[in-house]
């Protein structure tokens, strides 16, 4: 017999996602906004608690809580999400576990079959979450199957995935309950010092993405839909944080911040004289359509760096990735030069290790990409390079997904398997367990990455400067020049001593 629950309060939990200074957990704040004033809820940020389980358990032990809701990306967040949800269900069998976020939506079968995840919010939760609660609390007699963006099991035990809701007008969503959040964790403590400024604010201004790259986890959830807040709304929120907390930098966490040139330029004009540096993610072919004057305006308005999915310089592989748009290898080269001229740092992410017709071809492509990255660095040494190993996402129906299934790849069949160390590395896109990628290929990529990060340490880890940068560059220089990547232990030791932080795992270094 488990413990009895009387109340219907809600815990919204953000499992630990990083070890150092943390970003504002916008996901749980927006999920809270959806039910603010309608249901009683508390927010628990696993990043800020030494032992979040104690906090969660203490609350549930009062008998006042019924709903344990969490968000999770694949990767380290699962290390808390999975065991906590399991334990809550064991200890409080009447509790209801609701999951949302990229992991649960994309891996919904393994979640629903775990026996302890009751409902999944499949995409935006702004309408779905309150509607689901209304049904569960008998405040509405709407059928679950009619609530959009929901996954649940029906009485026959079948998994039901309801239809997707059109993306909502982002400007009319309820405001973030920042003040309420502040009663749990001081907002101030999330405004970290980064390479852009003393106090960096994390903001999310649009949902989805209009493209359908076949390696990307955004695609199965948003199906090429994108909707954004207006520039004036963004500016209003940024100004509020500037006035109240004196922020001087913003990280835009949108999947594709630069989709609408009109919006970006309008925001740039608004923020022009505010002395705020900013960063966002975008596509090369989209931004390449901006004129030099547009880019100069953005730079003047504080755009310091852009994260761009370069993926590969090989046009055939770009097709295999279904990158869409008009991106090509030549465009990437031209673009990094343009960025150099307007003084915006392009942060290019590459995806290496896609499946190929045979082992030789897979390896040749890796060597080709390494060479391409070297060419990019020669054109614009300030270009930052992020290297991911291709980790499949279940974009069912895409040609690439079919290729990986044919090559013998499969996802774990239980949630517990997802937290085994090898799958955690898979999530971090550092060791993808894909059968076509042989250990010597992974070594090659990782050794190259170490040498590259030695010779060109990221600007975003602002501690690596002066003599540290000089030593790293000197030690790595001959290796980079002659292409000797094997066993770069001396560089690894230096990275370890200085706790070099690669931005792709835990975000920019901050303090
Ligand atoms: C900020 C961020 C981080 C931060 C985390 C900060 C934090 N607060 O904890 C950091 C930098 C640490 C991080 C790390 C990683 N991240 Co990350 N991250 C993001 C990012 C940019 C923004 C998340 C966000 O705030 N969204 C804003 C909110 C409002 O939107 P949302 O999360 O979608 O939430 C809505 C719905 O999904 C739904 N919902 C979501 N959860 C829940 C829960 C409940 C209960 C309900 C009701 C509803 C609900 O309702 C919300 C409101 O509508 C997203 C991309 C993106 N634009 O979302 C990537 C993203 C989620 N990350 C991703 C990845 C892969 C990672 C990493 C694994 C990195 C890597 N090496 O590739 C790591 C590892 C994570 C870890 N350590 O566990 C991927 C996930 C893709 C996938 N394969 O599933 C994304 C989508 C980026 C991408 N395009 O590839 N990340
Ligand atoms: S453009 Fe970026 S966010 Fe959009 S589908 Fe492609 S990889 Fe994903």
Asked which of 147-151, 260-264, 320-324 is least confident by mean pLDDT, the reply is: 320-324
Does the beta carbon of 488 lie inside 6 Å of ligand 1?
no
CA–CA gap between residue 189 and residue 199 (Å, rounded): 10
Task: Give mean pLDDT, residues 229-240.
Answer: 98
In the predicted model, is pLDDT for residue 511 greater than 60? Answer: yes
Of 102, 220, 502, the one to substitute when testing ligand 1's pocket (max ligand atoms within 8 A of C-beta) is: 102
Ligand 1 atom 61: residue of nearest CA: 73
Give the nearest ligand 1 atom to 69 CA: 45
pLDDT score at 392:
80
Task: Give mean pLDDT, residues 207-231.
Answer: 93
Give the nearest ligand 2 atom to 311 CA: 7
Angle, helices 466-482 vs 489-497, to 10°: value is 160
pLDDT class of 190 with cuts at 50, 70, 90: very high
Question: Nearest ligand to the C-alpha of residue 31?
Answer: 1
- Residue range 36-89, pLDDT digits in tens: 999 999 999 999 999 999 999 999 999 999 999 999 998 889 999 999 999 999
**45 forms bridges with which residues in the sheet?**
14
CA–CA gap between residue 468 and residue 409 (Å, rounded): 42
Ligand 1 atom 31: residue of nearest CA: 27
Please give the share of the chain, as a percent, with pLDDT higher than 70. Answer: 96
In the predicted model, is pLDDT for residue 496 greater than 60? Answer: yes
pLDDT class of 8 with cuts at 50, 70, 90: very high
What average pLDDT is seen over the chain?
92
pLDDT class of 428 with cuts at 50, 70, 90: low
Of 253, 283, 391, the one to substitute when testing ligand 2's pocket (max ligand atoms within 8 A of C-beta) is: 283
Report helix, strand or coil for 42. Answer: strand
DSSP state of 175: P
Q: Is residue 432 within 8 Å of residue 481, measured between CB atoms?
A: no
Higher-scoring residue by pLDDT: 294, 487: 294
Ligand 1 atom 72: residue of nearest CA: 428
Measured CA to CA in angstroms, residue 71 lies from 82, 104, 123, 216 at distances of 11, 8, 11, 19
Q: Is residue 299 within 8 Å of residue 339, measured between CB atoms?
A: no
Ligand 2 atom 6: residue of nearest CA: 213
pLDDT score at 215:
81
Domains of the chain: 9-161 (3.40.50.280), 191-408 (3.20.20.70), 438-511 (no CATH)
Does the beta carbon of 253 lie inside 6 Å of ligand 2?
no
In the predicted model, is pLDDT for residue 506 greater than 80? Answer: no
pLDDT class of 30 with cuts at 50, 70, 90: very high
Does the beta carbon of 432 lie inside 6 Å of ligand 1?
no
Report helix, strand or coil for 375. Answer: helix
Ligand 2 atom 3: residue of nearest CA: 255
Measured CA to CA in angstroms, residue 237 lies from 126, 203, 225 at distances of 19, 9, 24
- Other beta carbons less than 10 A from residue 314's beta carbon: 17
In the predicted model, is pLDDT for residue 100 greater than 90? Answer: yes
Question: Nearest ligand to the C-alpha of residue 212?
Answer: 2
CA–CA gap between residue 122 and residue 125 (Å, rounded): 8
Question: Nearest ligand to the C-alpha of residue 168?
Answer: 1
């Amino acid at each position: 017999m488990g413990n009895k629950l009387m109340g219907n309060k809600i815990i919204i939990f953000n499992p630990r996602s990083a070890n150092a200074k943390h970003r504002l957990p916008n996901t749980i704040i927006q999920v809270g906004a959806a039910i603010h004033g309608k249901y009683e809820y508390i927010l628990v940020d696993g990043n800020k608690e030494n032992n979040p389980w104690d906090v969660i358990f203490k609350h549930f032990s009062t008998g006042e809580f019924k709903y344990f809701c969490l968000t999770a990306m694949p990767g380290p967040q699962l290390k808390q999400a999975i065991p906590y949800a399991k334990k809550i269900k064991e200890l409080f069998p009447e509790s209801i576990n609701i999951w949302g976020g990229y992991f649960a939506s994309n891996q919904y079968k393994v979640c629903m079959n775990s026996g302890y995840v009751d409902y999944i919010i499949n995409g935006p939760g702004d309408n779905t979450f309150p509607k689901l609660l209304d049904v569960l609390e008998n405040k509405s007699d709407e059928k679950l199957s009619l609530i959009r963006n929901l996954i649940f099991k029906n009485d026959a035990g079948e998994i039901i995935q309801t239809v997707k809701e059109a993306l909502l007008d982002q400007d009319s969503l309820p405001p973030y309950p920042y003040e309420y959040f502040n009663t749990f964790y001081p907002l101030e403590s999330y405004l970290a010092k980064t390479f852009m400024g003393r106090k960096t604010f994390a903001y999310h201004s649009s949902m989805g993405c209009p493209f359908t790259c076949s390696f990307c986890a955004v695609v199965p959830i948003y199906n090429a839909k994108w909707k954004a807040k207006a520039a004036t709304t963004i500016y209003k929120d940024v100004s509020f944080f500037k006035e109240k907390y004196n922020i001087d930098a913003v990280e835009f966490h949108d999947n594709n911040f630069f989709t609408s040139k009109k919006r970006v330029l309008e925001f740039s004009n608004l923020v022009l004289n505010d002395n705020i540096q900013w960063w966002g993610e975008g596509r090369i072919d989209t931004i390449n359509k901006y004129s030099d004057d547009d880019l100069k305006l953005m730079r003047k308005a504080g755009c310091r760096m852009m994260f761009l999915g370069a993926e590969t310089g090989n046009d055939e592989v770009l097709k295999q990735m279904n990158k869409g748009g008009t991106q090509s290898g030549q465009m990437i080269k031209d673009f990094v030069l343009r960025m150099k001229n307007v003084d915006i740092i392009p942060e290019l992410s590459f995806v290496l290790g896609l499946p190929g017709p045979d082992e030789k071809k897979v390896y040749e492509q890796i060597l080709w990409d390494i060479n391409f990255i070297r060419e990019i660095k020669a054109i614009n040494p300030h270009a930052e390079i992020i290297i991911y190993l291709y980790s499949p996402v279940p974009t069912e129906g895409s040609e690439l997904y079919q290729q990986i299934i044919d090559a013998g790849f499969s996802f774990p069949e239980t949630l517990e398997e997802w937290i085994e160390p090898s799958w955690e590395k898979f999530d971090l896109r550092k060791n993808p367990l894909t059968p076509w990628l042989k250990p010597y290929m992974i070594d090659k990529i990782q050794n190259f990455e170490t040498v590259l990060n030695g010779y060109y340490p990221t600007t975003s880890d602002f501690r690596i400067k002066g003599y540290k940068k000089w030593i790293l560059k000197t030690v790595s220089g001959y290796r980079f020049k002659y292409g000797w990547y094997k066993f770069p232990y001396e560089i690894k030791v230096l990275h370890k001593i200085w706790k070099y932080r690669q931005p792709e795992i835990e975000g920019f270094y901050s303090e």
